[in-house]
Amino acid sequence: MRVPGGRRSAVVVAILSTVLILSLAGPAAIAAKAPPGLSAFMYAVGKVESGGNYRARNRTSGAYGKYQIMPSNWPAWAQAYLGDRNARQTPRNQETVAAGKFTSLYRSLGTWRRVAYWWLTGSKRTGGWSPYARRYVNKVMALYAKRGGVDNVASTAKHYSERSAAVAYEGTWKTASHAAYAGRKVRYATKAGAAATFTFTGHRVVWYGPAGSTRGKARVSVDGTYVKTVNLHRSGFKARLAAFKATFKDGGSHTIRIEVVGTAGHPMVAIDEFVVTP
């Protein structure tokens, strides 16, 4: 079952070529800024969600159209990509909005596989996917591959667990387990001044860690320079949060240092993994 952030599958058939997708999308900016594989991915999602039917409607959720966009999402997305929150869900408008949203998600998440998961669930988590979600994503990615798409970033992104030799710890860090953690474990610290420094080579790094009511703040420095203080405190538990991201023009060697602040009442800061894009 999909959550409101995703869409529900429907049925029926219709296939658009790459040229048709881009022409329906309208604004030249979308085509000009399109990430690699956008048209193949749009075909795959449209096929899985509705069989390519622009008029498909899910009777339970109200999701509509080729990409089964939820009615609660359409106004904001139409405003963002069409400049009109009241725009009708015509085929052309559906293509424009989907192209814009898929592009935005790809820029944020980094892989088409993760975009497919988000489209189903509305979640950015990278692990602990349900069997249903994995089947959905695999189906989308299989169609994507058949259209010539290659999820380059997914195949080259490197994952470094909390146990990696590339992570140097200072102070006292302990281990905690949860089924939704990458590798089912994290390392955490609660004392102010405890730190973890990750050294890597690449153009992009993401630090993943849990958030929740017992979590606190951490000071993050990149290449020796303080960048920001991240607050991991949330009212509810979130097993995997993209706590911090950094992108570099230079794909050389870099460091990210995470220092525990020691927030009163909820000081915990944890390292699940680092994901690096070369």
Query: DSSP string of 165-230?
Result: TTEEEES--EEEE-TTSGGGEEEEE-STT-EEEEEEESSEEEEEEEEBTTB-EEEEEETTEEEEEE
pLDDT at 43: 96
Strand order in the sheet with 174-177: 174-177, 185-189, 269-271
18-155 against 158-277: fold identical: no
The full set of domain ranges for the chain reads 18-155, 158-277
Question: What is d(CA 162, CA 169) in angstroms, rounded to the nearest whole number?
Answer: 10
Q: Distance between CA atoms of 56 and 123, rounded to whole angstroms?
A: 24
How confident is the model at residue 180, as a pLDDT? 87
Relative to beta strand 253-260, strand 204-211 is unpaired
pLDDT digits over 196-242, tens only?
999 999 888 999 999 999 999 999 999 999 999 999 999 999 998 99
Q: Going by C-beta distance under 8 Å and a sequence separation of 6 or more, which residues neighbour residue 159?
A: 182, 273, 274, 275
Backbone angles phi, psi at 218, to 5 degrees: -140, 140
Q: Do residues 13 and 49 lie in contact, with contact meaning Cβ atoms separated by under 8 Å?
A: no
Select, from the ranges 11-20, 67-76, 122-131, 238-247, the one with the highest average predicted confidence (pLDDT). 67-76
CA distances from 137 to 10, 49, 111, 123, 142 (A): 16, 11, 12, 13, 8
pTM (predicted TM-score):
0.50
How many Å is the Cα radius of gyration of the chain? Answer: 20
Q: Looking at residue 6, what is its pLDDT?
A: 45
| CATH-assigned architecture of domain 158-277 | Sandwich (2.60)
State pLDDT tens for residues 18-70. 333 433 444 433 444 678 889 999 999 999 999 999 999 999 999 999 999 99
Which CATH code is given to the segment(s) 18-155? Answer: 1.10.530.10
Residue 232's CB is within 10 A of a number of other CB atoms, namely 21
Calculated CA dihedral for residues 111, 6, 238, 168, nearest 10 degrees: 0
User: Does the structure show a pLDDT above 50 at 7?
Assistant: no
How many Å apart are CA 71 and CA 214, to the nearest integer?
35
